[in-house]
A and B are shown apart, each in its own frame.
Chain A
Amino acid sequence: DTAVSQTPKYLVTQMGNDKSIKCEQNLGHDTMYWYKQDSKKFLKIMFSYNNKELIINETVPNRFSPKSPDKAHLNLHINSLELGDSAVYFCASTLLGGITTNEKLFFGSGTQLSVL
């Protein structure tokens, strides 16, 4: 059983399109995250949700809209895709979420987004 699963694994699309990436965790964690890894392999946090409430928004363009229907799911919708959005997007979760730093991040296997 995969702890943090995201779909699709690969996403190829044209500029201007709207696309979604889905993430689910079966660990019973309260907090979920989206990270972006660019072509230089820098991994940066985008969003964090704690029990369906947004707690981190790292100055991401408002074309990116996370949605958390319940604490086990955090989806990422991207409008009007641009070439610069091409990257690997990772979903992650932690048990409590920032109340202490004594927590492990559990990552999904990533979604490779290619915008043509």
Chain B
Amino acid sequence: DAKTTQPPSMDCAEGRAANLPCNHSTISGNEYVYWYRQIHSQGPQYIIHGLKNNETNEMASLIITEDRKSSTLILPHATLRDTAVYYCIVRGVTGGGNKLTFGTGTQLKVEL
């Protein structure tokens, strides 16, 4: 599975959009981009995933560049409850179970 690079930390003002970048320059054609987050003392929570088209759900939007070498997770109106570690993961279509490999992620701090 391709490796990802994320900034270790970011700050965001409450109510503003949080844009979390992820580089995955070695991604291959059949690998999806997944985003999870982990709020302190909780288990990771699925946010969104995509292959090449931009995706949006009730939690966030995922923008994937045309060459697929990077992506951005957008939280349109960040709240204090969005403070968490955000993980960007790439995963290909193979058998043998859902073996997502989590990196170190980005610690997002949302402040007043």
Contact = CB atoms under 8 A, between A and B. Distances in A.
A66 interface: no
Nearest to A112: B41
Nearest to B85: A41
Interface string A95-116: 0011111111111111000000
B44 A43 contact: yes
Interface residues of B, number: 27
Contact of B43 (A4, A97, A99, A100): A4
B49 to A, nearest CB: 8
B43 A90 contact: yes
B43 A101 contact: no
Contacts of B93: 100-101
Nearest to A99: B95
Nearest to A49: B97
B46 A98 contact: no
Interface of B: 32, 36, 38, 41-46, 49, 85, 87, 91-105
27 contacts: A4-B43, A31-B97, A31-B98, A41-B104, A42-B102, A43-B102, A44-B101, A44-B102, A48-B97, A50-B97, A55-B96, A58-B99, A90-B43, A90-B44, A98-B96, A98-B97, A99-B95, A101-B32, A101-B91, A101-B93, A102-B32, A102-B49, A103-B98, A105-B36, A107-B45, A109-B41, A110-B42
